[in-house]
Amino acid sequence: MDQFTLNLLFVGASFALYIGIAIWARAGTTSEFYAAGRGVHPVTNGMATAADWMSAASFISMAGLLAFGGYGTSSYLMGWTGGYVLLALLLAPYLRKFGKFTVPEFIGDRFYSPTARMVAVLCLIVASITYVIGQMTGVGVAFSRFLEVDNTTGLLIGAAIVFFYAVLGGMKGVTYTQVAQYCVLITAYTIPAIFISLQLTGNPIPALGLFSDISGTTTPLLTRLDALVTDLGFREYTLQDGTPSAVINMVLFTFSLMIGTAGLPHVIIRFFTVPKVADARWSAGWALVFIALLYLTAPAVGAMARLNLIYTVYPNGISEEPIIYEARPDWMKNWEVTGLLSFEDKNGDGRIQWYNDQNAEFQASVADRGWVGSELTVNRDILVLANPEIAQLPGWVIGLVAAGGLAAALSTAAGLLLAISSSVAHALFKGQLTPHMSEKNELLVARLSMAVAIGVATYLGLNPPGFAAQTVALAFGLAAASIFPALMMGIFFKRINNHGAVAGMLTGLVFTLVYIFLHKGWFFIPGTNSFEDTISGSLLGIQSTAIGSIGAVLNFVVAYFVSNATEEPPQEIQDLVESIRVPKGAGMAVDH
Reference 508, options 119, 128, 246; nearest CA is 119
| Residue 511 scores a pLDDT above 50 | yes
CB 276 within 8 A of CB 568: no
Question: Of the segments 97-111, 141-155, 500-514, which one has the largest average pLDDT value?
Answer: 500-514
Q: In the chain, which residues fall in CATH 1.20.1730.10?
A: 3-304+390-581
State the virtual CA torsion across 257, 582, 111, 114 in degrees, nearest 10. 100
Among 61-65, 367-371, 464-468, name the one with the lowest average pLDDT: 464-468
Residue 438 confidence class, pLDDT cut points 50, 70, 90: confident
DSSP code for 54: S
Reference 372, options 398, 392, 350, 348; nearest CA is 348
Residue 457 confidence class, pLDDT cut points 50, 70, 90: confident
Residue 32 confidence class, pLDDT cut points 50, 70, 90: very low
CB 509 within 8 A of CB 123: yes
C-alpha distances out from residue 358 to 361, 365, 385, 533, Å: 9, 13, 27, 17
Per the prediction, the chain carries an average pLDDT of 84
DSSP helix/strand/coil, 343: strand
Among 154-163, 221-230, 251-260, 305-314, name the one with the lowest average pLDDT: 154-163
DSSP helix/strand/coil, 341: strand
DSSP helix/strand/coil, 284: helix
**Which residues, listed in sequence order, are joined to residue 378 by a DSSP beta bridge?**
341
The residues near 358 (Cβ < 8 Å, ≥ 6 apart) are none
C-alpha distances out from residue 67 to 55, 73, 92, 204, 307, Å: 18, 9, 33, 20, 9
The residues near 407 (Cβ < 8 Å, ≥ 6 apart) are 14, 18, 51, 181, 184, 185, 188
pLDDT at 275: 66
Residue 252 confidence class, pLDDT cut points 50, 70, 90: very high
Report CA 577 to chain centroid distance, whole Å: 32
| Residue 139 scores a pLDDT above 90 | no
**Which residues, listed in sequence order, are joined to residue 376 by a DSSP beta bridge?**
343
Mean of the pLDDT values across residues 147-176?
70
State percent of the chain over pLDDT 70: 90
Fold of 3-304+390-581: Sodium/glucose cotransporter (1.20.1730)
Q: Where are the alpha helices (DSSP H) in 214-297?
A: 221-231, 244-263, 265-268, 277-295
C-alpha distances out from residue 265 to 125, 431, 489, 520, Å: 9, 18, 16, 24
Helix or strand run (H / E) with residue 144: helix 114-146
CB 412 within 8 A of CB 55: yes
Between 401 and 175, the more confident residue is 401
CA pair distance 479, 552, nearest whole angstrom: 9
Mean of the pLDDT values across residues 10-26?
77
Sign of the Cα torsion 270, 274, 280, 283 reads negative
